[in-house]
Amino acid sequence: MTADITRLSAATLAAELAGKQMSSVEATQACLDRIAEVDPQLHAFLYVDAEGALATAASVDRRRDAGEELPALAGVPIALKDVMAMRGVPTTVGSKILENWRPPYDATVVSRLREVGLPVLGKTNMDEFAMGSSTEYSAYGPTRNPWDHDRIPGGSGGGSAAAVAGFEAPLAIGTDTGGSIRQPAAVTGTVGVKPTYGAVSRYGLVALASSLDQAGPCARSVMDAALLHEVIAGHDPRDSTSLPGPVPDVVKAARTADVRGLKVGLVKELNGPGYQAGVRQRFSEVVELLTALGADVREVSCPNFTYALGAYYLILPSEASSNLARFDGMRYGIRLGDDGEANVEEVMARTREGGFGPEVKRRIMLGTYALSSGYYDEFYGQAQKVRTLVQRDFAAAFADCDVLISPTCPTTAFPIGEKVDDPLAMYLNDIATIPVNLAGNGALSMPIGLAPEDGLPVGLQVIAPPRLDDRLYNVGAAVEAALEDRWGHPLIEEAPQ
């Protein structure tokens, strides 16, 4: 029995826990054993909190034994991207500058996990300050893709995606500023959702670009992602950009799984010759599948998406250069060069010089430049105008379509080392995901098969209008059910172990 626990979906685990066929301590211990077995190779985790996770599990078991009515995911273990503050637990954001920092408070997402009773297995690896698409920019070494250990698991949330794909955790939390939940999901054959901006609280999330950042679920099935979405979404007075009003019923939508009569727009600009042949092939098969399921698929054009990547790489560094000014060695994190003679500016400079990696420095310089007087209008101002145009493209497309679709990324997982020294090549991974962050609506990535040329997972991106995240789950679950019928099992089961 124990050997199989880690392969169960969160929904099945939840049902077994509720039916007392298994305890949360057993489920949590199974994940911890799996982590001990495979993480020395995968390196999905930066920190494993066995004691904390087992304590939560034991308390859930006690409450259940006492006859308490518990929420659906109570007792189901989860992994947390290291960008989320968790009281007393190291939170490094993949950076040396926060090495050994233990936050004195919980992020709202973490508080919600605690309230519902999900044992947090530990903190997952990520590109430093969530800047990157491969997890190679982590100050603590790369994470490996469970499908092929010589390949990247995506980024910045490669640790969360690899933990889920490698059966170390049934669920994980990611954050997505330009694609960091969806692109890792695509290249690891898992499901990842970026909810509408403001749907999940940013309180306690170490900020990269505040107008783009959004936390969301990583899972092995659309239903599992929906169950987690339901736990973490909802208004939070501690986040001034948090959406008021009710959360759409994403679990019901995942159960509905019906695309009959749905108008699906295929975004012309997010598919084409720049995309790997096998990615395009799997994508066009899904277009046929959607049609067979009764959806009305048509092509739509979003001409300004062509400029989205350029605008993003002005807006993101601008916001990041401001957000990261707080890491100065004075308030928290490491302090370097404080030899008793250096003045405060020198200590700050030495701390930032030694504490930040090259990609973080590159973006701070870019952002500072773009915001400097004389260049502000030319760069930052122009980028904000492009952002408005991207939003208008979406609005026009959604006037005719219920959802939009595209491949999640142009290629499957690339070899570790291939793009690490070529920032532009790295940035291009997010060409199809970035427009969504600029506009603020929600999107999901899900596995749609393996590319014939390399046998690696391909992701489908489903995009919904702002706030209507339930549509992502409806379409995702319909496609998933049809594909799993065809394959006879979930795609992830083909991942080599």
Catalytic residues: 81, 156, 180
Q: Please choose, out of 71-79, 170-178, 259-267, 274-282, the segment that lies near ligand GLN by the rule CB under 6 A.
A: 170-178
176 makes contact with ligand GLN (CB under 6 A): yes
Neighbours of 93 (CB within 10 A): 31
Binding to ligand GLN (CB under 6 A) within 457-486 occurs at: none
Give the C-alpha separation, 120 to 58, whole Å.
13
Alpha-carbon span 207 to 190, nearest angstrom: 25
447 binds ligand GLN (CB under 6 A): no
- Residue 131 or 314: which CB sits closer to ligand GLN? 131
With a CB cutoff of 8 Å and minimum separation 6, the contacts of 418 are 425
Buried b (16+ CB within 10 A) or exposed e, 321-334: bbbbeebbbeebbb
**Of these, 178, 189, 217, 440, which contacts ligand GLN (CB under 6 A)?**
178
Q: Which residue has the tokens 């659309």?
A: 222
Minimal distance in Å, beta carbon 358 to ligand GLN?
13
- 316 near ligand GLN (CB under 6 A): yes
Q: Three-state DSSP class for 305?
A: helix
Q: Which is nearer to ligand GLN, 28 or 183 (CB)?
A: 183
Encoded one letter per residue, x for contact with ligand GLN by CB under 6 A and - for no contact, window 381-420 reads ----------------------------------------
Which residues inside 204-223 make contact with ligand GLN, applying CB under 6 A? 208
Write down how long the chain is.
497
We find the least distance from the C-beta atom of residue 495 to ligand GLN, in angstroms, to be: 23
Please give the structure tokens belonging to residue 394. Answer: 């979406």
- Among the listed ranges 28-36, 111-119, 171-179, 294-302, the one in contact with ligand GLN (CB under 6 A) is 171-179
**Closer Cβ to ligand GLN, 84 or 130, answer by number:** 130
Verify binding: residue 156, ligand GLN, rule CB under 6 A: yes
Nearer residue to ligand GLN within complex by CB, 133 or 271: 133
Stretch 31-70 residues interacting with ligand GLN (CB under 6 A): none
Tokens of 153: 């698991």
SS3 label, residue 137: coil
What angle is formed at CA 10 by the lines to CA 159 and CA 138, rounded to 5 degrees?
A: 5
Those residues with Cβ within 8 angstroms of residue 408's Cβ, 6 or more apart along the chain or in another chain: 179, 182, 183, 185, 186, 432, 433, 445, 459, 460, 461
Give 25-29's long-range contacts (Cβ < 8 A, gap of 24+).
25/54, 25/57, 25/58, 25/61, 26/2, 27/57, 27/75, 27/76, 27/77, 28/53, 28/54, 28/56, 28/57, 28/75, 28/77, 28/119, 28/121, 29/2, 29/54, 29/57
**Does residue 132 bind ligand GLN (CB under 6 A)?**
yes
Report d(CA 385, CA 381) in Å as an integer.
6
Least Å distance between CB 366 and ligand GLN?
A: 11
CB 443 within 8 A of CB 436: yes
Nearer to ligand GLN, 42 or 316 (CB): 316
Options 39, 168, 236, 430; binder of ligand GLN; rule CB under 6 A: 430
- Cβ proximity to ligand GLN: between 206 and 450 the closer is 206
Q: Answer yes or no: are the C-beta atoms of 99 and 92 closer than 8 Å.
A: yes
Stretch 179-198 residues interacting with ligand GLN (CB under 6 A):
179-180
* Range 91-130, binding ligand GLN (CB under 6 A): 130
Size of the site for ligand GLN (CB under 6 A): 13
Does residue number 160 form part of the binding site for ligand GLN (CB under 6 A)? no
- Is residue 177 near ligand GLN by the rule CB under 6 A? yes
- For 113, the token pair is 């996990």
CB–CB of 80/172 below 8 Å? yes
CB nearer to ligand GLN: give 142 or 265: 142
**Segment near ligand GLN (CB under 6 A), from 103-111, 139-147, 173-181, 269-277?**
173-181
Please name which of 52, 51, 48, 56 lies closest in space to residue 23, comparing C-alpha atoms. 56
Binding flag, residue 133, ligand GLN (CB under 6 A): yes
Q: With respect to ligand GLN, which residue has the nearer C-beta, 166 or 216? A: 216
Return residues touching ligand GLN (CB under 6 A): 130-133, 156, 176-180, 208, 316, 430
